[in-house]
Structure 1
Amino acid sequence: MNRTLYTLLFHLGLPLVALRLAWRAWRAPAYARRIGERFAFGLPTLAPGGIWVHAVSVGESIAAAPMIRALLERHPDLPITITCMTPTGSERIRALFGDRVQHCYLPYDLPWAAARFLARARPRLAVIMETELWPNHIHQCAVRGIPVVLANARLSERSARGYARFHKLTAPMLAELSWIAVQTEAEAQRFRALGARPECVGVTGSIKFDLRIDPALLDRAAALHRQWNAEDRPVWIAASTHAGEDEIILAAHKTLLAQRPDALLILVPRHPERFGSMFELCRREGLATVRRSTGEAVTADTQVLVGDTMGELLFLYALADIAFVGGSLVPNGGHNLLEPAALGKPVLAGPHLFNFLEIAAQLREAGALAEVSDAGQLAAQVGGLWADPVRAATMREAGLGVLKANQGALERLLAGLSRLLS
């Protein structure tokens, strides 16, 4: 498939796109707002001549945040436009940066929509986070002489095989990229094999290792612990969970409650549309549950706190002794293991970590990550760490050591972006 055929099929598929958007709006009403932006109509006024950063959703927005902060400091004269594709990503961008940046949804990958967006933004540089590759957007940048960087790029073997099936579309698209800043050499080789220009592929490492924890966040977490009278209470978190995982997590928590009746679980579903149903599930399971969003007090009788707020995941991690990272008990590929590690938490996850193979391998080899596959193993690991503070401390230090050993990717990425800007 080449780009012309891809574009034709995209146009023919627009009714399906509309149906999918309607379905998502039914589940999460925020999808019904700002629809025009998705077709490059009704875009906000954008100051031209700056840097355009695309972060598809919440995870990429969080990963991009340190880079964007540094760009704001180093290039205060350049407007920065951040695009995303989801309402939760949009909320996160606004919460992180407010009026310091320009923001809108990225229009769908149609040539005329991409052209309208670029005519409005007129960036000097485009930075796409991780592996969000859109052939028409990239081509429209190339036509206008706008350098495009794929930053913090990752490409699993499975994804590479998928791209390889559409070589006539993928190879020209990758060849139009000015720089691919990849996380590992293995991923660099995959990009080159798919058609990226070898001189435009460089290994910078993962900027997720450059995570910095605000001391004020730790102070706020300690204050809330005191408010809960929970300084000596065992607390664990199951974060970024997906459908199919919550029942396993609640079964593990019931096992833990039989051993430690004062145990508290902080349950944080990945997607906001599941907040309400997870609260109801906890209640049906007979667990005394409160929602973070209501401000209802966590008392000695509370068994589960549902983290149903946006932008608080690091804070909720800070409240726990042990962290389980979701998207890994089901074949979703896992989520960011480094956030709890940076907070000094022993990290647990399921076996499905194909989105973070290199990071998972480093944490596992260092002794900072323990993997589980069912409720029994999860309860055994959490209970075992509560009972063995020496092992918990060892995992904590191992995780912090992995982060320290891999830092520097952000500076390497920023240096490359500066070269392209100049």
Structure 2
Amino acid sequence: MTSWREVLARGTWAAVLGLLTPVYLLKLWWRGRAEPGYRQALLQRLGWVYGPAQPQRPIWVHAVSLGETKAAAALIAALRQQHPGVPLLLTHGTATGREAGLALLQPGDAQTWLPWDTPGATRRFMAHWRPQVGVLMETEIWPSLLHAAAQAQAPMVLANARLSERSARKGQRLALLLRPAARALHLALAQSEDDAQRLRAAGVDRVVVAGNLKYELQPDPAELALGGQWQAQWATAGRRVVVAANTRDGEEALLLAAWQAWLASLPEHHAAGMMLALVPRHPQRFDEVAALVQAQGRSLWRRSDWQGGALPEQALQAQVVVGDSLGEMARYYGMAQVSLLGGSFAPLGGHNLIESLACGCPMVLGPSTFNFAEATTLALAAGAAWQVADAPSAMQQVGRVLADPALRQQAQAAALAFTAQHTGAAARMAQQLGPLISAPAGR
């Protein structure tokens, strides 16, 4: 039963977002300077879609960004296997997610932006697409969208659901707004029992622990092999590569300072053989990170400078590499002797360590890992990763790994075994979604 206070909270939310709509659209246009994808089909952000309502009665999957889209791939494949012929509607919030989602589409599917969370935009979206079920990946709880889905009698499922302690505390401050949205969910498929408990406390009526889809991600063998080739070329040139993956604003400067201090503690001939690769999380920061490296007087090679073939001399001798490309994380992990987890050296909760471990690349984690708390705990217990207090400590751990080939090989084997032990989430989630999905008309 929705109270008048909850109705008022949702109305206030809708009014505020309505007033902010021009600001929202201007922000998207501004971001489109660096990522033109943000300027595509802006009217879709407001729920306006022209043309016939095709596909008919699709399975709707919302994957906001690149990471969620990659994780959704395994679930989409399992759903297609169990429900052949049912079309897919794929929505996103970011340009990188939308670009990655193109590879998941088949004839008869559709792709659009998630509508801005106002009553009008979400009603238009639901009326046009008429999904038979909606699957929101991980943490996408939008009050107006879930209310519009309930009005349209479209059951909504939160898949690969996670809710950290930090997010749960924030949610308590907005309970009048978020609790009715959580109650509107038909089902949440949680990554872990801890996530499940927090989701139940947040108001989700039905929660099933199904595991983490990110264990299903298999690295591209070709990209991984290319990374191995690069590692061999650097090794021939006397270089060893440490990759800082998915770094965020502020982390690059922090890691570069710790890297330089660590190199200064090494014998000169050892220091000369070390190379750091920075792979920023967001493509709009590629130029910024490259400029930071150059401003500090370090020799730089950018991945975007490579035109194919053997690595150029500039790459072989560079002090720092900037990985300014998309869809090549397997290559970066393949070229690394050891990697550092971006987002964990700032209070951001860390990014996907599972991807690194699936590539057999040992990982050093910073102190902030709440986004992948369970995976962190399990990986540390398995001996596939190490966690440290800060960036200087991370470099010391990197040094220990590089100095001990047996330790590195043991961690590589542990990383591969760790990911193999935690697969199966896609099949379990598809089975839970099965009763909500009908075959296409005429089948």
Query: TM-score, length-normalised on structure 2?
Result: 0.88
Residues 279 and 298 (structure 1 numbering): CA distance in 2 closer, same or farther, change over 3 Å? farther
Please point out which of 60, 76, 84 is paired with 1:68.
Answer: 76
Please point out which of 191, 197, 215 is paired with 1:183.
Answer: 191
Deviations 1:120-151, CA, capped at 9 Å, x for gaps = 22211110000111112112122222111100
Partner amino acid for 2:377?
A
Please point out which of 233, 252, 273 is paired with 2:284.
Answer: 273
Residues 211 and 288 (structure 1 numbering): CA distance in 2 closer, same or farther, change over 3 Å? same
Q: Say whether the 8 Å CA contact 1:107–1:114 is kept in structure 2.
A: yes
The offset of 1:409, in angstroms, is 1.7
2:421 counterpart SS class: helix
The offset of 1:29, in angstroms, is 4.7
1:305 counterpart SS class: strand
Aligned runs of 1:89-238 on 2, under 5 Å? 89-95=97-103, 97=105, 101-197=109-205, 200-225=206-231, 230=236, 233-238=239-244
Q: What residue ranges of structure 1 are gaps of 5+ in the alignment?
A: none
Partner of 1:13: 20
Deviations 1:282-328, CA, capped at 9 Å, x for gaps = 12222221211221644331222211111111222122121111011
**Rounded Cα–Cα distance in structure 2 between residues aligned with 1:339 and 1:204:** 19
The offset of 1:233, in angstroms, is 3.6
Residues 298 and 71 (structure 1 numbering): CA distance in 2 closer, same or farther, change over 3 Å? farther
Partner amino acid for 1:191?
L
Residues 213 and 237 (structure 1 numbering): CA distance in 2 closer, same or farther, change over 3 Å? same
2:56 counterpart SS class: coil
The offset of 1:194, in angstroms, is 2.0
Deviations 1:250-290, CA, capped at 9 Å, x for gaps = 23443348434132322111111110111111122222212
**Rounded Cα–Cα distance in structure 2 between residues aligned with 1:231 and 1:72:** 47
Partner of 1:400: 416
Partner amino acid for 1:368?
A
**Structure 2 residue 56 is the aligned partner of structure 1 residue 48:** yes
Q: Higher mean Cα deviation, 13-22 or 236-245? A: 13-22
2:244 counterpart SS class: strand
Residues 23 and 398 (structure 1 numbering): CA distance in 2 closer, same or farther, change over 3 Å? same
Partner amino acid for 2:127?
A
Please point out which of 83, 91, 103 is paired with 1:83.
Answer: 91
Q: Say whether the 8 Å CA contact 2:220–2:330 is kept in structure 1.
A: no
Deviations 1:69-97, CA, capped at 9 Å, x for gaps = 23234333111111111112112212454
Partner amino acid for 1:399?
A
Percent identity at matched positions? 39
Deviations 1:318-371, CA, capped at 9 Å, x for gaps = 221211110111111110010111111111121111111111111122222212
Partner of 2:441: none
Q: Say whether the 8 Å CA contact 1:248–1:374 is kept in structure 2.
A: no
Residues 383 and 43 (structure 1 numbering): CA distance in 2 closer, same or farther, change over 3 Å? farther
The offset of 1:101, in angstroms, is 4.1
